[in-house]
Amino acid sequence: MQPPFKSPRASQSNTEGTSNRSARLPPDLPIQETHETSQEESTSIQGGIAGTLDPVAQIPRSSTSTSHTPIAIANPSTTRWSPSVDTLLNQPPASFPTRLIVGGMAFGAVFGAWAWFGTIEEVGQATGRLVPEGQTYKIQPTEVGKVNRVEVREGQAVKAGQILVELDTELAQKEVERLEQMLTAYQGEITQKQILLERIQMEAQTSAASSMAEQLAQRSAIALAREKAATTRQLLMQQRSEAVAYQARKARLAPLASTAEERLDQLQIELKAHQKRLNRLKPLLEEGAVPQDYIFQAEQALRETQQRITQTQMQDITSVNEQLFQSEQSLRDLATNITQNQGELTSAYKEAEQLQAQLSQKQADALRIQLEAQQRIEQLELDIAQTKAKIADTQTSLLAAKTRVRNNYLKAPVDGIVLSLNLQNSGEVLQAGQTVAEIAPHGVPLVLAAVLPNSEAGFVKTGMPVHVKLDAYPYQDFGTISGKVANLSADTKPDEKLGQVFRVEVQLDKDYVTDKQRKIQFRAGQTATADIIIRRRRIADLLLDPIRQIQKDGINL
């Protein structure tokens, strides 16, 4: 009988166990082997379970003694098992569970990596239609009017300035003619008033110049009169000063006359004294009592005294009297001149006052004339200003009337195509602000004007990528058109279906689709749906969102 099948794992374990146990035996303990054991023969069945026979278990507890007792080791080859146990031991281990576990672990690792590193796009859908960038041009009348002619049809290409619709201009043209007549009348009136104003201004300037010349002449006369009065007053003061001087001289000459008289009397006394002396000396000379020289000296003194008397009488007294006479005569002349000059001074003052009064009167007359002219000028200027205001109002009304006439011709503002025309026949009455037609300009790229619900606009920003699906070209056949968010309105606006919405403008990367190598250009007005890539989230976050929501609601897992 062959030994039972040994598992390699069990054999390896047995080998390791045997080597470990052998290592724990005392070095001096003899081991008696009844059979040469091998790594495969060290297994045994105990209690019907495959296991490893521990050789150490067969060593008695007294093995620690110093006696050398042989140890018997069981030989598995001599053990006998039941057929069922042999079959179980000989059957190889099953690999499916191991493979299932390994496959599950690999799947979990791959799924975890995919969920962790993989992302999914969250998109917000905005619906709208294609419009030219900058919107279309809406043609609207500014006033109520009746349609005379319709010059274009829907889809027709038009040039800038081309007439689209002609409205009735009869009433507006009559208003223009009436205002032009009023403007002509006002302009003639203002011309006449302007001429009258210039004439009055010229007269006022001439009168002012004449009055100014008269006033200058009057001021010159006043200046001359005042100068004459000043000269007369100065002369009068000088004459009065001379009179005072003559009075002082006369006062000084009066004592001189008395002095001359006294001196003459003194000389007369001296003369008498010298005569008496001479008379006394002459008898003595005859007697010879005195010398002849004494007589000569006495006679000489007598003659000198007589001479001095004569000189005093002829010079001093006469000169003083003449000076007194001259002073009195000068005083009389000065008094006459002073009286005359006083009259001239009074006359000069009166003349200056009269001239000043005349000057004041002329100034008052000139001021009155100037004020009257100024009042007339101001009145004319007021009339002219009022007329100019009427002209300005009339010109404004005329410009408005001409504008109404021009506005009755609805023209294309730019080169483009008539997208829509809301007129059928002539004779229709249009209301102010009513859209008659829409013009899409040439050469302007198309953009998608869409509305985005408020609930999906939280993360939308300009520049985000967009995938546009046109309803006219199924995306299953033609794919989507790439683009980006070009503009996002700053505030929401109400929408009947979607509630509060944001207006979004999407710029397209191209304005055509290809069908069999043929480009099909988009047209304004085509509807489309824009998928705006709001953000990219990890798949793991999406899977964990329900758990997070439960935890947020207060439920602990």
Domains of the chain: 8-91 (no CATH), 121-133+444-557 (2.40.30.170), 171-379 (1.10.287.620)
- Number of other residues whose CB lies within 10 A of the CB of residue 147: 21
Q: What are the structure tokens assigned to 447, written together?
A: 């953009």
Lowest mean pLDDT among 32-41, 134-143, 150-159, 395-404: 32-41
C-alpha to C-alpha distance for 123 and 480, rounded to whole angstroms: 14
Top-ranked range on mean pLDDT: pick from 4-13, 88-97, 269-278, 315-324: 269-278
Q: How far is CA 135 from the centre of its chain?
A: 31
Q: Identify which has the larger pLDDT, 67 or 416.
A: 416
Q: What is the 3-state secondary structure (H, E, C) of 121-141?
A: EEEEEEEEEEEECCCCEEECC
Give me 174's structure tokens. 């009559």
Instruction: Check residues 232 and 80 and name the one with the higher pLDDT.
Output: 232
Largest CA distance in the chain: 246
Q: What are phi and psi of 489, to 5 degrees?
A: -60, 150
With tokens 């001196």, the residue in question is 263
Plot region of 41 (φ>0 → left; ψ -120 to 50 → alpha; else → beta): alpha
Q: What is the overall mean pLDDT for the chain?
A: 75
Between 4 and 222, the more confident residue is: 222
Is 21 a residue whose pLDDT tops 60? Answer: no
- 34-62 average pLDDT score: 38
Q: How would residue 230 be classed by pLDDT, with cut points 50, 70 and 90?
A: confident
- Amino acid type, 131: V
Residue predicted with more confidence, 439 or 83: 439
The lowest-confidence range among 96-100, 315-319, 341-345, 503-507 is 315-319
Neighbours of 71 (CB within 10 A): 17
Q: Are 468 and 529 in contact (CB under 8 A)?
A: yes
Q: Is the pLDDT of residue 245 over 70?
A: yes
Highest mean pLDDT among 57-66, 249-258, 485-494: 485-494
- Stretch among 53-67, 115-129, 210-224, 460-474 having the lowest mean pLDDT: 53-67
Task: Tell which residue, 121, 122, 113, 124, has the closest CA to residue 540.
Answer: 113
Q: Residues 432, 438, 443, 446: is their CA dihedral positive or negative?
A: positive
Cα–Cα distance, 274 to 131 (Å, whole number): 162
Q: Which residues pair with 532 in a beta bridge?
A: 124, 466
The C-alpha angle with vertex 385 and arms to 382 and 391, in degrees rounded to 5, equals 145
Note whether 460 and 522 are within 8 A (CB): no
Whether 438 shows a pLDDT value over 60: the answer reads: yes
Q: How far is CA 445 from CA 134, 307, 378, 413, 512, in A?
A: 9, 151, 63, 18, 11
> Where is pLDDT greater, at 57 or 481?
481
H helices of 48-135, in order, are 83-90, 96-117
Tokens describing residue 113: 């990596």
Q: Which residues pair with 371 in a beta bridge?
A: none
pLDDT, tens digit, 9 for 90 and up, residues 205-219: 888 888 888 888 888
- In this predicted structure, the answer to whether residue 185 has a pLDDT above a threshold of 90 is yes
pLDDT-derived band of residue 192, with 50, 70 and 90 as boundaries? very high
Alpha carbon distance 485, 468 (integer Å): 11
**Range scoring the smallest mean pLDDT among 220-234, 463-477, 529-543:** 529-543
